[in-house]
Amino acid sequence: MTAVELALPETTARLEAEVGDAIFTRGAQLAIRVGDAPAVTSAVGDDGRGRPVADDTVFRVYCTIKPVTAVAVARLVDAGELDLDEPLGGLVAELPAVAEGTVTLRDVLSHAAGLHRPGGVEIELIAPERRAAHFASVRRDPRFRVGVDVAYSERFAWHVLGLVLERVSGQPLREHLREAVLDPLGMADTWIGMTDEEYDAVAPRIGLNHDMRTQHSFPMLLERGRRMCTEVNPAHGGYTTATDLATFYAALVAQLRGAEDPALPSAETLRTFTSPVRPATLDRILDRECAHGLGFMVDLAGHEFGPLVSASSFGHSGNVGSSFAWADPDHDLAVAVIFNGIVDPASAFTLRPSVVRAIYRDLEAATAAEPEPDPEPEAPKRRRFGLGRR
């Protein structure tokens, strides 16, 4: 299927309707990759500053950025420089919540390490120079059973992962993520901590998210400021485009299908990271039964993506679903959607499945319209889009 053949009438109508209503978002950005075809993109509405959203408008995407760090960790696991099941106390001895006990990398990545406090907002309210001391003062709740209980870690776990990456790689985190993941995958419009020079160059393209949880929305002005854009925050401080996020997930799907890209962990390691660590379990922070991989949300129907995503799907969302991106390997599919409206969970979990449903319906229609290709010998089987699977 080529980009020219892939029309998205229902998806486009859905996005335009949401932007026109201006209840849940002011603008939207979409990118879809099917197989090795070029990305199909759409940008509609207001970037939050009264300008049209463009494909290269850069938005803060909150926790949707988490999997970039997970892939950096996976590369070191694949290289034998990190062990998923070795206690981390020796690497982060200054953090009692990790060093006291047998917390492993697998526990941290799968939100089963008891690192759900402090939350992201609490950390943002602490001066940057005092945050290390604050993390060092935190003790894990003794009632939390490490490796058994699950509670989504918005910030603390990814602070731990950042320290681990710096100490094993010998590089500052910003440089390591750039050199190990972003540049090799061609994600030139993605930053997890801009340099001052990068900020000066990209600032005109940075859009604004708006808090739309009340009748009168307000812009998140601090998110366009130099301090937040240059802070290296791998948990929820990433700035990117839908195109870059789709590129990221398309590369992971290709690797799982045997691409053998030396810039990525092996398919075997990547499959470990993108598969459920344990059966769907009540997440005490997300307040739903769902499955986690290692740094990824997995089996996305349990994460309010709706019933059409395959059981093999994996990805992540940010700030109650204002942005979300995923891979569906069963369909050789990578998708990223960015809204610049922040809403309540009930609204988000109504909006997101409706958009996902429109995407799959458009893909179903496009697939039904094209002739079946002759099967390639020894080629992995690909599912055709079908809406009656679940």
Span 74-118, pLDDT tens digits: 999 999 999 999 999 999 999 999 999 899 999 999 999 999 999
**Which pLDDT does position 217 carry in this prediction?**
86
β-bridge partners, 44: 28
Q: What are the C-alpha distances in Å from 44 to residues 33, 124, 253?
A: 18, 31, 27
- The answer on pLDDT for 219 being more than 80 is yes
More confident residue, 86 or 389: 86
pLDDT at 7: 82
pTM for this prediction: 0.93
Domains of the chain: 9-369 (3.40.710.10)
Whether the predicted pLDDT of 387 surpasses 80: no
**Per-residue H/E/C for 86-101:** CECCCCCCCCHHHHCC
Say how far apart CA 354 and CA 348 lie, in whole Å: 10
**Distance between CA atoms of residues 103 and 114, nearest Å:** 9
Q: Which two tokens stand for residue 351?
A: 């909006």
In the block, residue with structure tokens 């590129």: 247
Q: Could you read off the pLDDT of 9-59 as tens digits, one per residue?
A: 999 999 999 999 999 999 999 999 999 999 999 999 999 999 999 999 999
Structure letter (DSSP) for residue 85: T
The arithmetic mean of pLDDT across residues 61-74, rounded, is: 98
Pick the closest to residue 182 from 203, 204, 206, 198 (CA basis).
198
Confidence of residue 128 (pLDDT cuts 50, 70, 90): confident
pLDDT at 366: 86
| pLDDT of amino acid 384 | 47
Residue 389 has pLDDT above 60, yes or no: no
